[in-house]
Structure 1
Amino acid sequence: MNEKEEIEIDLSRVIDIIKKHFNLFVIIILIASIIAALITMFLIPKKYTAEAKLIIVQKSNPDSQQISYNDIQTSQKLVNTYSEILKSEAVSDEVIKNLELDVKNIDHSSYLKMVNISSIKDTEVIKISVETQEPKLSAEIANEIVLVFQKKIATIMNIENVTVLNSAKVPEQKSSPSNFKNILIGFLLGCIIDGCFVIYFLLNDRNIRTEEELKKIFNYPIIGLIPDMSHGTGGTE
């Protein structure tokens, strides 16, 4: 039966390595965190998100001024349909044309990347989020999508009861990238690098510290020990 060689990691040795190279490990973490911060602030483009919300209720009886429970249920089921219409070329092409976004090289595929359509659970409310590198442009696109959708939905599905809950405002704060998140990633990366160094130092440590280690290496009984004289003999001169 072949015996597999096992590597035992002594926690005290790990602690000794960390203490010995503590300054190095701290510097590595600081450098990784600073690099992550600099990349976030100067290399990754800032993006801004503007949001608009609208509510759509499809009446079963257009002549009635009241909205029934069935109308609400039907509208909730059609939210996914409305979302697809908002993402369609019928809406995107007109938004691009009205705002002359083609000058900025924005086409339908770019539109889909910057626009996110979501619904609030168990409601008829649809949220339109637009993320671009320009705060004002994000708000303009979101509001234009609402205007175009109001016209298109009346033609496509004969629905006129579209109410804007809130128009998009120009965002004052960037939505991405996250300084905290990226610096945290840099910090964790520094910790991983430190861990690799600890493993390297452990594997290359050839010092023998205990009798047990000596027995394992040479497989011979120990017949004597030489005391450590570096701290003095303990006697008098």
Structure 2
Amino acid sequence: MYENDEIEIDLSRVFEIIKKHFKPFALIILAASIVAALITLFLIPKKYTAEAKLIIVQKSNPDSQQISYNDLQTSQKLVNTYSEILKSEAISDEVIRNLKLEDLDTEGYQKIVKISSVKDTEVITIAVTSKDPKEAAVIANEIVDVFRDKIYSIMNIENVTVLNSAKIPEKKSSPSNIKNTLIGFLLGCVIDGCIVLYILLNDRNIRTEEEMKQIFDYPIIGLIPDMTHGTGGAE
């Protein structure tokens, strides 16, 4: 019970400090949010992501117009294999060479190219992120072309279809103005919290009888009234 009372007293002090210094705290949060927004808008380079999609269709009977359940299962298993091939240097080196990307090596290629598969489907997504939206689309489509040319010699089968080619993205994929502004807002809240904590830890004022008992561990004999709030009297 006493612990709960102590927590309540601490919270009341926190609210008291926040109320007393509300304007400076609000300005800190506002300033942190504005700085984060400005950094996002003017200092962090904009990046664009272009996506191309492939679908793997493996037919056990090429002459049949229908795809069996086993064909679907086989195609889904091939997705993982094909995804790894797309990430390999056999693809990246040729893409870099064909597009003459002299400032891009294999490591840099791995950073800007993301290969993923849609769960429980035969679809592979090739996402390329670049500061130049046109370059992102060109690289994504080149990866598709190189992969389709190489997959037959590697797997000796032709079962890859382009679901959609990459288009030049019109909107940036990063950075996020909302996300970074929110981070600035939270950073401002953290700064305010640290200031409140500092004030609490350096507060040596005694406000209640309970605090007096806790500090000195002596019984309170009497209280001195605050004469400054009297109603006045004769001089």
TM-score, L = length of structure 2: 0.90
Give unpaired runs (5+ residues) of structure 1.
1-5
* 3-state SS in 1 of match to 2:227: coil
**RMSD over aligned Cα, in angstroms?**
2.1
What's 1:70 paired with? 70
1:159 is displaced (CA, Å) by: 2.1
Q: How far apart, in 1, do the equivalents of 2:41 and 2:34 lie?
A: 10
Q: Which moved more, 1:153-162 or 1:62-71?
A: 62-71
1:69 is displaced (CA, Å) by: 2.7
* 3-state SS in 1 of match to 2:229: coil
What's 2:109 paired with? 111
Q: Which moved more, 1:57-66 or 1:177-186?
A: 57-66
CA, structure 1 residues 59+20, in 2 after alignment: closer, same or farther (shift >3 Å)? same
1:229 is displaced (CA, Å) by: 2.7
Q: Which amino acid aligns with 1:224?
A: G
* 3-state SS in 1 of match to 2:193: helix
Q: How does 1:25-44 map to 2 (within 5 A)?
A: 25-44=25-44
Q: Which amino acid aligns with 2:223?
A: L
CA, structure 1 residues 222+54, in 2 after alignment: closer, same or farther (shift >3 Å)? same
1:85 is displaced (CA, Å) by: 1.0
Identity in percent: 78
1:217 is displaced (CA, Å) by: 2.5
Counting helix residues as a fraction of each chain, which structure ranks higher?
Answer: 2
* 3-state SS in 2 of match to 1:129: strand
CA, structure 1 residues 72+204, in 2 after alignment: closer, same or farther (shift >3 Å)? same
TM-superposition CA deviations, 1:184-211 (whole Å, max 9, x none): 1111111111111111111111212112
TM-superposition CA deviations, 1:44-87 (whole Å, max 9, x none): 22111010111122233345454333222111111111011111
Q: Which moved more, 1:206-215 or 1:111-120?
A: 206-215
TM-superposition CA deviations, 1:19-43 (whole Å, max 9, x none): 1111111111112112211221222
The count of corresponding residues between Structure 1 and Structure 2 is 230
What's 1:3 paired with? none
What's 2:79 paired with? 79
